[in-house]
Amino acid sequence: MVQPSVMPRNLDPFSEIASQVAPNPLIAITDLWESALHDLIASEVPVLPYVPQRRKLPSRVLRVRTAWKGIESILADLIQRFDVGRGRCLEFGVEFGYSTAALSCFFDEVTGVDLFTGDKHTVNQRDIFSETSKRLSGFRNVRLVCSDYRRWIAHDVSLYNLIHVDIVHTFVDTFTCGLWSALHAPCVLFHDTVSFADVRRAVSTIALLTGKRFYNFEESNGLGILV
């Protein structure tokens, strides 16, 4: 069900930690990644292979073109292995809704944030918000919000069980959105860790800063998993 764009206002017990790492996610965080790169050069972050023990398609799979195809079959395995709660999921980067629909099979509520106009790394460059909203209108636990991720993280102080990051594939954007996500969820997924080196470097840097483990699923353009 598509609802109006309303920012959540829950209290965030991680807010003190987050403010120490990056008090202003729109400004200070971009300074942080530059210094973090120097540490990353001298510190090798281990990337652990993620090999699913079982695969199973979720109950809802959309018929749309997607680079995410294949990942939906490991979600149940991933959620069970890392003991991910089933309450709230946040997704940055919805596009046609394929991953959103798959994630909605495992969480009570899924919020999808996207500009829905594509970016320099996508084939689609038109406004597809209405199209995607209509496609997911029957999914009662899905809420779509037309917003830039920077605006969202500047206002959202709530916690999630899992966050999926699949935005413009630059280091700065992935790092900015990803570090915020790592401070607001115990499990964060990053798409395109194989097809975009900048995404993989950003995930490694976040792992270094937060002490989280970095697993990587090599198929479907790569899925980084921080837990």
Task: Give residue-wise pLDDT tens across range 126-140.
Answer: 688 999 999 999 999
**Is residue 39 within 8 Å of residue 208, measured between CB atoms?**
yes
pLDDT band per the 50, 70, 90 thresholds, residue 118: low
What Cα–Cα distance (Å) separates residue 171 from each residue in 7, 102, 206?
A: 26, 26, 11
Cα(80)–Cα(197) distance, integer angstroms: 28
pLDDT band per the 50, 70, 90 thresholds, residue 26: very low
What pLDDT, on the 0 to 100 scale, is given for residue 39?
58
**Above pLDDT 90, what percent of the chain?**
74
Q: pTM for this structure?
A: 0.82
How do the residues of the chain divide into helix, strand and coil, expressed in percent and rounded to 5?
35, 15, 50
**In this predicted model, what pLDDT tens digit does every residue of 178-208 receive, in sequence order?**
999 999 999 999 999 999 999 999 999 999 9
What pLDDT, on the 0 to 100 scale, is given for residue 84?
98
Mean pLDDT to the nearest integer, 203-223: 96
**In this predicted model, what pLDDT tens digit does every residue of 70-114 receive, in sequence order?**
999 999 999 999 999 999 999 999 999 999 999 999 999 999 999
What pLDDT, on the 0 to 100 scale, is given for residue 128?
83
Measured in whole angstroms, the distance separating CA 120 from the mean position of its chain's CA atoms is 18
Mean pLDDT for the chain overall = 84
User: Which residue is it, tokens 């970095």?
Assistant: 214
